[in-house]
Amino acid sequence: MFWVVVFVVIALGGVAMVICFGISLWRKSQALLGEVGVLLERADQFAELLDRLEVSADREAPVRFRRGTDGDEDEIEDAAMGLSA
């Protein structure tokens, strides 16, 4: 009879642990769904901002780096290779 009581107590402890784990998992899933809702709201705000953005199609792309034509290019390449003039 003693062993029956021991196994019943162990089984009840296991059931309690499963219930606690289920509650913890439910709370984490609710927090995750809340964060997904915030993420979707931010994505909607971002899409709205992108819709407000106006870009003209007839404008050429800007040139960011222009190469100099003053003749110093050969000196720079020699210096980069470790050569002296």
Residues with Cβ within 8 Å of 73's Cβ and at least 6 positions away in sequence, in order, are 67
What percentage of the chain carries pLDDT values higher than 70?
Answer: 65
Q: Domain ranges in the chain?
A: 25-50
- The type of residue at 29 is S
- For CA atoms 14, 15, 20, 22, the dihedral sign is positive
Asked if residue 66 has pLDDT above 90, the reply is: no
- Average pLDDT estimate for 36-57: 90
The pLDDT, as a whole number, for residue 74 is 55
CA angle 48, 51, 56 (to 5 degrees): 155
3-state helix, strand, coil in the chain (%, to 5): 70, 0, 30
Question: pLDDT digits over 15-32, tens only?
Answer: 999 999 999 999 999 999
The pLDDT, as a whole number, for residue 54 is 78
Contact 83, 76 (CB under 8 A): no
The pLDDT, as a whole number, for residue 68 is 59
